[in-house]
Structure 1
Amino acid sequence: MDTIAPVPFSSARAYVLEARYEFLRLLRTPSFSLPCLLFPPVFYLLFGVLLGGKGGPAAAQYMLAGYGVFGVIGVALFGFGVTVAMDREQGLLTLKRAQPMPPGAYLVAKMAMALLFAAIILALLATLAAGVAGVQLSATQWIAWATTCLVGVLPFSALGLWLGTLVSGRGAPALINLIYLPMAFLSGLWVPLTMLPSVLQTIAPVWPAYYLAHIAQQAVGAGTGHPLGLHVAVLAAITAVFFVLARRRLVQ
């Protein structure tokens, strides 16, 4: 009787499979995939193109930066925050620790999932910006904008990961929305900060999205000359701090 030879363990294959299944899991979850993939391009089309049409391509260019950041932040916060909270509540994290898989595969898979969703959102926004809104950017500007937004997934994934360790699966969406939506508005992602009251403009730097938005705006040529080094340093510090905080809670 022939015997089936066991498949040799491959850590690289474990990472790839975990990332694939995590992406498919959330792609097949309409409550996550539909809002994350559709809201940024629909809002951009409505507010950046139709209602903001009087500002012409310049306004659409500015809003492209804001809604790109808005889209990737949503994927990072909900992709990490809600799913980690649900996995903790259902005991899935304990099950994964007992499996013979690399310890970092769980987080790497979620990061890969967030980057894939973010790339789809950016592709949709770029299509609307170039095909409908008349935005004309150089190849360098398109690459800088996309790279900025994709790298920007990191700090908000760390924030979402930490939030996911604080509450239950049922409470996570409410908590994240209480942070996500006010942060998007008060960071100038939906409307320019100059249109907000001076008090709100003053406190805008307390929001992490404020720093990523300025980098994205400068990438598309709509920035105001803010020091990029400061924004990058703040986002790097946010990534490190919230990852450490989340790790402490996950190992408890």
Structure 2
Amino acid sequence: MNGLITLELVRALRNRKFLFFSVIYPSLLFLLIAGSADGTTRIDGTGLTLPTYMMVSMASFGALTAVLMGNSERISKERAGGWVRQLRLTPLPGRGYVLAKTASAAVVSLPSIVVVFAVAAAVKGVRLDAWQWLALTGAIWAGSLVFAALGVALGYLATGDAVRPVTMITYFGLSILGGLWMPTTTFPGWLQEVARWVPTHAYAALGQAIEQSQAPRVQDIAVLVVSFVLFTGGAAWLYRKDTLKA
């Protein structure tokens, strides 16, 4: 399995388009949204300034891009090309393939988080304690595993030309409803209630709690844990279903 993880990492790092959208693009969006904002005015209902709020949002968005977009389309193409069928002829167990995909995607998501943090600190003067930077990096990186599992599930759910639109709808839906592009406090009241149960909202809320030196809400942790169980369970079921078809 270690060999497969290494192969996946090499393939991802060689894909310049993938690296741009997962590492550089979130930082550019951060500068576009927070570039002209001051560092004192706080967003209503959050206690955070726009730069600090959007730093966590864009770091989460970059990690989401890396693990969701990378996994789903790559797995679908590998199924169509017969690569997955060839792997089934090796001693590698099915769970090893899923774990390798999830682990490699999670590793690739780390640069996207660090780059956004570096840009926020250098350009917008975001300052946090050392423990907060470390805790933010760990929380956002660990939380990306939830969406890495979703990416695996989508890769087995959709095939051929269908995988890209299915992934894009999921990707943009999670980003917008989760408040990664704009604070959910700007949403209508009913939509704010819906957003509270979206995993990307809970994902970003972990980082926002750390920025405010607060403990994460139990609801946010519960949403992420339940989502991870559902996504990994769905990925495992779809993998077994695909195996029966082969």
Sort the Cα spacing of 1:169 and 1:27 in 2 relative to 1 into closer, same or farther, 3 A.
Answer: farther
For each residue in 1:18-44, what CA deviation from the matched residue of structure 2 results, as whole angstroms up to 9, or x when unmatched? 111101112222332221122111111
Residue matched to 1:105:
96
For each residue in 1:194-243, what CA deviation from the matched residue of structure 2 results, as whole angstroms up to 9, or x when unmatched? 122223212212421011111111112287x7x52221122111111121
Task: Determine what percentage of the aligned residue pairs are the same residue.
Answer: 27
Which amino acid in 2 is paired with 1:153? Answer: S
Sort the Cα spacing of 1:146 and 1:234 in 2 relative to 1 into closer, same or farther, 3 A.
Answer: same
**TM-score, normalised via structure 1 length:** 0.85
CA distance in structure 2 between the partners assigned to 1:113 and 1:102 by the alignment: 17
2:161 pairs with one of 152, 170, 177: 170
Are the aligned partners of 2:12 and 2:108 in contact in 1 as well (CA < 8 Å)? no
Matched, 1:230 2:206: no
CA distance in structure 1 between the partners assigned to 2:161 and 2:26 by the alignment: 24
For each residue in 1:142-183, what CA deviation from the matched residue of structure 2 results, as whole angstroms up to 9, or x when unmatched? 011111111111111121111111111432221111111122
Residue matched to 1:73:
64
Once the two structures are superposed, the pairs formed by residues 58-97 of structure 1 within 5 Å of their partners are: 58-97=49-88
Sort the Cα spacing of 1:54 and 1:228 in 2 relative to 1 into closer, same or farther, 3 A.
Answer: closer
1:55 CA displacement: 5.2
Secondary structure of 1:26's counterpart equals helix
Residue matched to 1:249:
238
Residue matched to 1:219:
210
Residue matched to 1:7:
none
1:69 CA displacement: 1.1
1:107 CA displacement: 2.5
**TM-score, normalised via structure 2 length:** 0.87
Are the aligned partners of 1:162 and 1:242 in contact in 2 as well (CA < 8 Å)? yes
1:193 pairs with one of 184, 193, 204: 184
1:103 CA displacement: 4.3
Are the aligned partners of 1:211 and 1:232 in contact in 2 as well (CA < 8 Å)? yes
Matched, 1:32 2:18: yes
Sort the Cα spacing of 1:217 and 1:112 in 2 relative to 1 into closer, same or farther, 3 A.
Answer: same
CA distance in structure 2 between the partners assigned to 1:35 and 1:144 by the alignment: 24
CA distance in structure 1 between the partners assigned to 2:132 and 2:14 by the alignment: 33
Which amino acid in 1 is paired with 2:37? Answer: G
For each residue in 1:76-130, what CA deviation from the matched residue of structure 2 results, as whole angstroms up to 9, or x when unmatched? 2112211121112222111101023354432233223222221111111111111
Residue matched to 1:3:
none
Tell which structure's C-alpha radius of gyration is larger.
Answer: 1
